[in-house]
Chain A
Amino acid sequence: MIRRSSIVSSLSLAFLLAGAMAHAQSRSSTELKPASVAGRVTNSLTGDPLAHAHVALRGEPAVWYDMHADEYIATTTADGRFSFKSVTPGTYTVIVERRGFGPLADEHKNYQTLELKPGDQIQDMALQLVPDAVITGHVVDGQGLPVEHIVVRAEGGASPSVTFTDDEGEFRLGGLRAGRYLIKAEAYSQPLPPEIRTDGTVAVRYGSTYFPSSTSAKSAEPVQARAGQETRGIDIKLLPASFLHVSGVLSNVPGDKQPWVILDSGSPTAMPPVRVAGPGFKFAFWQVPPGHYQLFIGNRFFQRSAPAEIDLESSSIEGIHLVYAEPLELKGHVQVEGGAPMTSRSKFFPVLLFQPLGLTERSGSLDHLGAETAFIDPDGSFETGNIPPGRYHLVLENLAENLYIKSASLGESEYKDGVLDLHSSASQTALEIELGVNGARISGVVRGQQGPVAGVEVALFFDDEYGFDLAGKAVTEAGGHYAFHGIAPGKYNLVAYDPKILDRVWSSDTLALYQGGKEKIDVAENDNISQDLKLLTSQ
């Protein structure tokens, strides 16, 4: 729950750090002739000046851990003007903010970098902000009565947001960027068995319901939010929750342990974890909404069992057996076909990532966070601990660009269709990996509404049962060019997106809200594929 919601703050931190890294030159001396900066902030829709906007010039920190870099701040006057009369020359990130307004979409204009030389006098810096969009509505129960304190969430779009209903069942989701959103009224996941009544009345529990009245994101109706406008009447009638439950038993649990069991849907409002104690080690999740889940012992990043895949449709599932397993210690060896030397692409160590299937969907994050890393020594050997049993994609990083995983085997287990199945007995044998030298190349141009876009990302996904397990990422350069090298034969999905929007709010459900971007490709050995992409847009 926390992980996914901390998006915004981590993003700004990332900007800050990026700014700091990119301009790691020595600090400007205070004896230099100061520069000055003046300009104007306007409403991008109306062109009107924006008063009371906050304009900041944030300097690079002197040392990386110094979070208190020099910062100049000005507030705009009634005519939208701001001025910094005396600024120490140096490199600054320009930040403009105002309540009720957001940054211009698709571009990084609100975080532009400013290089100030001694004596520079910038007169007309033009900064724009887009007015926020608002979505409003009511949440009512089966009788049409308002429901109070229900969490309402805008999923997808450029700025996922959350609020809750007041005593009249009303909600206002403000501060939204323009775009398409799924609006969900979230019922609490009550981890208790259904209520028992003996007075003849019937208990009704409502479940999470998407606008206008659907239990799944797939049949939800997207709501369009428009800059500076209020989208009204988004009324949600709660649907009765299903009373499905998932239960089972753990085995092989060490006597002193009381492990947690996780039923993970990848949703930020997943079921609360259940702690399981002996004797018996029985567990049950009550009142689970239908959907696809992974069930496992441990927590998201320290799993202690292979995950069980569960599809809950119309009936409860009982009698699931999860086997507690300590993580595997794996040793192995990487060699290049034909005995060629293994060369590294960069100054970084070559690494082998063990990435559990479904990780991208579960973590909601377009990176390999949660994958286990093994460093590959120059002689090709590697070892790693803490790998729970399960199915994994193998991902190589920092190797010479044409190299790819041609085959891998661990005793009986073969790496097939990009998946390696690790059992608890796998520690006994070595993982042998052969790298092919004729990996495919995929390249092309990413275009937005105004043509090629630099500085956005392209994600390459394994086309497995999840469809969106990350195989690699590329950043577009000048002219919108991107390229992947050393791609193993197989089926993939390609998505071009603005990392500011999608990087850490990934979900295949909300992907449906965006237009463009997705391409399926089939890769053979030594292919050189040209594939232009349209930038995903939520507008």
Chain B
Amino acid sequence: MRRLSKLLIRILWFCAAVVLGISISAQEFPAQPLLSATPASIAGTVINSMTGGPLDSVHVTLLDYFGTSSPYGAMSDAQGHFSIAALPPSDYIIRLERRGFIVVSGQVVISGKAVPRKKDYYGNDGTLELKPGQQLQNVTVKMAPRAILSGRVLDEYGDPVVGLYVEVLMLAPRTLETRRWPPALTNDRGEFRLSVPPGKYYLEAQPQLQFEPSQELHSANTIATKYLRTMYPSATDVSTAILVAARPGSETSGLDIHLAWAPLPDRVLSITGIIRGVPDGAEAIVDAEWTESPSERIDTITPDRAVPSTLKAGEFQIRHLAPGHYRILARCDAGGHKLESAIIELPLTDSNIENLILVLAPGAEVTGRIQWPVPSLPPNKGKRATVTLDTVERQSFSHWQTGEVAPDGTFKISEVFPSRYRVQVQPLLENAYIKTVGMNGRPVEDGILDFTNGADGASLKITVSANGGQVSGRVVDQEGEDSSSIGEVVMFREQEGVVDFDHLYSTERNSDGRYVIHGLPPGRYRLLAIPRGIPTNKARGFEEFIKRNHPSIGTNEFLNQHRRSGEVIDIKEGDNISKILKVTGKDSDDTEE
């Protein structure tokens, strides 16, 4: 019933990206294969990973990783053999295609040794470096008979739902990885068919974004609903979802997903009020942010739901709001001078809120001094360090302000508006961390500055220690093989078994495949190596990803599930800890029934 076209575009993009992704991105690289160098060759066998026997009629392609030059290809014969000669030396991506079969990762083996894996989102597996004159023999590549999962997606009346994506989630406890396989789209009968590698999966149907609930007013006899992301058979989180076995070469049918739904609010409300302190000729804007309940720190940000509107000078009206918990803020940019009101948090339940008064005021100036570690050397000569106040709340109107640190350690930060802030100092020596933050002579709990009632007259004292903890090591897979290329390490403060997203650290690997996290404040942490492809660079992206796909991550249950691979460590000042981490779960290439 809703519009299908956007979905189809998405899926088309997906298909196109799967095929073109390699070559388009490859065009960014100017490097070309060495056409003049002595050619290399490759020969080997394709194996059916289920039977161990040879697999014929497999189209083996070597795609040059760097350029746009010709792909090299071969077909495997009745004995599964294939061979390609006269290859220009280069890095190649190996692609295997055979109808009814699917590549499972980690299946390119040369003379008994696995080829280092550089997997990406699209499931390309194994880059192979061919040196001039190199003649690779006995390469073994494996394909598994793929499994089919089929069923329908049905609405609350049992009617088919067309144009929904259905995806497999390879979820805890085996792995956190999702989305490696192209999703299926339901047809006009609500049917879907998914081709996946053998394994066990949760199946999830993803309803499109629906009409904004808050714009609806309803007639008396109907309840408007919104559909939720639903896992087979009708679950909104893993605890009630059923794992589905995808068996090699066969179809698991009848997997009907009954969409879960939630009623939409049966009324819409408004907030009206007055903004005070708007300078002549300037325009103020009101931002509102909605969460379903105040206990959720952030659930849904819908800045567009609240249409910023200034009806008359100083008056504002935000219409069509769903019941919930709101944060409201007025702001104004008057000729380069920023004015903001305090953030007002209020519940909107039964009736409209009227005559809300938002008072614009200039930001405060915060001063302070940094106590550098002894010897009292600022971290780098010439360039001044900076102190940044960054809002703690991940709200749509979060902001930060920065001030430079003078040689005597003093700093000044202007335009600090009411909010809660975290202090950051940059740059810091490799293992340095902010040890204490004090305000007006008192220590600040957790280093979080509470300026919700304004920051006027705040004077900070920041102590930096050079003796933060350090954790480093390798990432291995379940068999203990080096697996650094597929794992990323995240680390978070663990407090009573709950993930503290305010203290989430992630790390990229060094060039030698080791991970390092520096400058850790003393405390208890959980270290986790998770498969690549999950956003970790920004804590926010990670948090959203985790919340969406792993609703249980904040719970002891989740932590117990990952005890096998996760590590809890206590870090004291100056610690230098080495840890080998196992990637959570592993790729689902098992054959269990």
Residues of chain A with a CB closer than 8 A to B490's CB:
none
CB of B453 to closest CB in A, whole Å: 33
Interface flag for B3 (CB, 8 Å) = yes
Chain B residue with Cβ nearest A164: B15
Please judge, given known A-B contacts A66-B319, A175-B4, A175-B162, whether A197 and B73 are in contact too, CB under 8 Å: yes
Interface flag for B217 (CB, 8 Å) = yes
| Chain B 99-140 near chain A by CB (<8 Å), digits 1 or 0 | 110000000000000000000000000000000000000000
The answer to whether B188 touches A172, judged by C-beta atoms less than 8 angstroms apart, is: yes
Please judge, given known A-B contacts A164-B15, A198-B83, A203-B73, whether A73 and B219 are in contact too, CB under 8 Å: yes
Q: Which of B22-30, B387-395, B550-558 contacts A (4 or more CB under 8 A)?
A: B22-30
Interface flag for A221 (CB, 8 Å) = no
CB of A303 to closest CB in B, whole Å: 20
Q: How many residues of B contact A (CB 8 A)?
A: 72
Interface flag for B193 (CB, 8 Å) = yes
Interface flag for A193 (CB, 8 Å) = yes
CB of A531 to closest CB in B, whole Å: 35
The answer to whether A196 touches B72, judged by C-beta atoms less than 8 angstroms apart, is: yes
Residues of chain B with a CB closer than 8 A to A161's CB:
4, 8
The answer to whether A97 touches B219, judged by C-beta atoms less than 8 angstroms apart, is: no
CB of A134 to closest CB in B, whole Å: 6
The answer to whether A272 touches B24, judged by C-beta atoms less than 8 angstroms apart, is: yes
Residues of chain B with a CB closer than 8 A to A174's CB:
162, 187-189
The answer to whether B74 touches A197, judged by C-beta atoms less than 8 angstroms apart, is: yes
CB of A198 to closest CB in B, whole Å: 4
| Chain A 1-40 near chain B by CB (<8 Å), digits 1 or 0 | 1100111110010000000000000000000000000000
Cβ contact of B3, chosen from A2, A9, A167, cutoff 8 A: A9
| Chain B 199-231 near chain A by CB (<8 Å), digits 1 or 0 | 000000000000110111111111010000000
State in angstroms the CA–CA spacing of A85 and B219 once bound together. Answer: 6
State in angstroms the CA–CA spacing of A73 and B223 once bound together. Answer: 9
| Chain A 139-177 near chain B by CB (<8 Å), digits 1 or 0 | 000000111110100000000011110111000101100
State in angstroms the CA–CA spacing of A272 and B69 once bound together. Answer: 16
CB of B97 to closest CB in A, whole Å: 10
Cβ contact of B5, chosen from A7, A71, A84, A85, cutoff 8 A: A7
Chain A residue with Cβ nearest B8: A162
Interface flag for B182 (CB, 8 Å) = yes
CB of B221 to closest CB in A, whole Å: 7
Residues of chain B with a CB closer than 8 A to A198's CB:
72, 74, 83-86
CB of A277 to closest CB in B, whole Å: 7
CB of A276 to closest CB in B, whole Å: 10
Chain A residue with Cβ nearest B71: A195
Please judge, given known A-B contacts A66-B309, A74-B219, whether A199 and B187 are in contact too, CB under 8 Å: no
The answer to whether A9 touches B185, judged by C-beta atoms less than 8 angstroms apart, is: no
State in angstroms the CA–CA spacing of A151 and B162 once bound together. Answer: 17
The answer to whether A193 touches B188, judged by C-beta atoms less than 8 angstroms apart, is: no
State in angstroms the CA–CA spacing of A203 and B15 once bound together. Answer: 22
Residues of chain A with a CB closer than 8 A to B182's CB:
149
The answer to whether A74 touches B222, judged by C-beta atoms less than 8 angstroms apart, is: yes
The answer to whether A99 touches B159, judged by C-beta atoms less than 8 angstroms apart, is: yes
Chain A residue with Cβ nearest B4: A175
The answer to whether A188 touches B73, judged by C-beta atoms less than 8 angstroms apart, is: no
CB of A172 to closest CB in B, whole Å: 4
Interface flag for A117 (CB, 8 Å) = no
Interface flag for A449 (CB, 8 Å) = no
Residues of chain A with a CB closer than 8 A to B189's CB:
172, 174
Residues of chain A with a CB closer than 8 A to B13's CB:
1
Interface flag for B75 (CB, 8 Å) = yes
The answer to whether A69 touches B19, judged by C-beta atoms less than 8 angstroms apart, is: no
State in angstroms the CA–CA spacing of A65 and B30 once bound together. Answer: 46
State in angstroms the CA–CA spacing of A277 and B32 once bound together. Answer: 13
The answer to whether B218 touches A99, judged by C-beta atoms less than 8 angstroms apart, is: no
The answer to whether A199 touches B75, judged by C-beta atoms less than 8 angstroms apart, is: yes
The A/B interface has a contact count, at CB < 8 Å, of: 185
Chain B residue with Cβ nearest A187: B19
Residues of chain A with a CB closer than 8 A to B4's CB:
8, 161, 175
Interface flag for B169 (CB, 8 Å) = no
Chain A residue with Cβ nearest B222: A75
Please judge, given known A-B contacts A193-B70, A195-B72, A197-B73, whether A72 and B217 are in contact too, CB under 8 Å: yes
Residues of chain B with a CB closer than 8 A to A340's CB:
none
State in angstroms the CA–CA spacing of A62 and B193 once bound together. Answer: 45
Chain A residue with Cβ nearest B184: A166
Chain A residue with Cβ nearest B193: A166
CB of B24 to closest CB in A, whole Å: 6
CB of A450 to closest CB in B, whole Å: 28
CB of A92 to closest CB in B, whole Å: 11
CB of B179 to closest CB in A, whole Å: 16
Interface flag for B409 (CB, 8 Å) = no
The answer to whether A6 touches B5, judged by C-beta atoms less than 8 angstroms apart, is: yes
Residues of chain A with a CB closer than 8 A to B187's CB:
163, 172, 174
Residues of chain A with a CB closer than 8 A to B157's CB:
51-52
Interface flag for B305 (CB, 8 Å) = yes
CB of B288 to closest CB in A, whole Å: 13
Residues of chain B with a CB closer than 8 A to A199's CB:
74-75, 82-84
Interface flag for A492 (CB, 8 Å) = no
Residues of chain B with a CB closer than 8 A to A151's CB:
12, 15
Interface flag for A478 (CB, 8 Å) = no
CB of B116 to closest CB in A, whole Å: 24
Interface residues of B in 311-343 (CB under 8 A from A): 319-320
Residues of chain A with a CB closer than 8 A to B84's CB:
197-199
| Chain A 212-223 near chain B by CB (<8 Å), digits 1 or 0 | 000000000000
Interface flag for A369 (CB, 8 Å) = no
The answer to whether B193 touches A12, judged by C-beta atoms less than 8 angstroms apart, is: no
| Chain B 565-591 near chain A by CB (<8 Å), digits 1 or 0 | 000000000000000000000000000
Interface flag for A82 (CB, 8 Å) = yes
Residues of chain A with a CB closer than 8 A to B195's CB:
148, 167
The answer to whether B99 touches A71, judged by C-beta atoms less than 8 angstroms apart, is: no
State in angstroms the CA–CA spacing of A51 and B157 once bound together. Answer: 10
Interface flag for A126 (CB, 8 Å) = no
State in angstroms the CA–CA spacing of A2 and B69 once bound together. Answer: 28
The answer to whether A195 touches B70, judged by C-beta atoms less than 8 angstroms apart, is: yes
CB of B207 to closest CB in A, whole Å: 12
Please judge, given known A-B contacts A52-B157, A72-B218, A146-B99, whether A196 and B71 are in contact too, CB under 8 Å: yes
Interface residues of B in 72-104 (CB under 8 A from A): 72-75, 82-86, 99-100
Residues of chain A with a CB closer than 8 A to B185's CB:
163-164
CB of B253 to closest CB in A, whole Å: 12
Interface flag for A100 (CB, 8 Å) = yes
Please judge, given known A-B contacts A66-B309, A172-B189, A199-B82, whether A8 and B217 are in contact too, CB under 8 Å: no
Cβ contact of A162, chosen from B12, B16, B63, B319, cutoff 8 A: B12
The answer to whether B220 touches A85, judged by C-beta atoms less than 8 angstroms apart, is: yes
State in angstroms the CA–CA spacing of A71 and B320 once bound together. Answer: 10
The answer to whether B9 touches A62, judged by C-beta atoms less than 8 angstroms apart, is: no
The answer to whether A9 touches B6, judged by C-beta atoms less than 8 angstroms apart, is: yes
| Chain A 51-86 near chain B by CB (<8 Å), digits 1 or 0 | 110100000001101111111111101000011110
Interface flag for B374 (CB, 8 Å) = no
Interface flag for A274 (CB, 8 Å) = yes
Chain A residue with Cβ nearest B190: A99
The answer to whether B214 touches A272, judged by C-beta atoms less than 8 angstroms apart, is: no
Given known contacts A71-B215, A74-B218, A197-B74, what 17 new A-B pairs fall within 8 Å (CB)? A5-B8, A5-B9, A6-B5, A9-B3, A67-B304, A83-B221, A99-B1, A99-B159, A132-B188, A146-B99, A147-B99, A149-B182, A167-B148, A167-B193, A190-B19, A195-B71, A201-B74
Residues of chain B at the chain A interface (Cβ within 8 Å) = 1, 3-6, 8-9, 11-13, 15-16, 19-20, 23-24, 27-28, 30, 61, 63, 68-75, 82-86, 99-100, 146, 148, 155, 157, 159-163, 182, 184-185, 187-189, 191, 193, 195, 211-212, 214-222, 224, 304-305, 307, 309, 319-320
Q: List 22 A-B contacts (CB under 8 A).
A: A1-B9, A5-B5, A6-B9, A8-B3, A63-B309, A66-B307, A70-B215, A72-B217, A99-B160, A100-B188, A161-B8, A163-B187, A172-B189, A174-B162, A174-B187, A190-B19, A193-B69, A197-B74, A197-B75, A198-B72, A199-B83, A274-B27
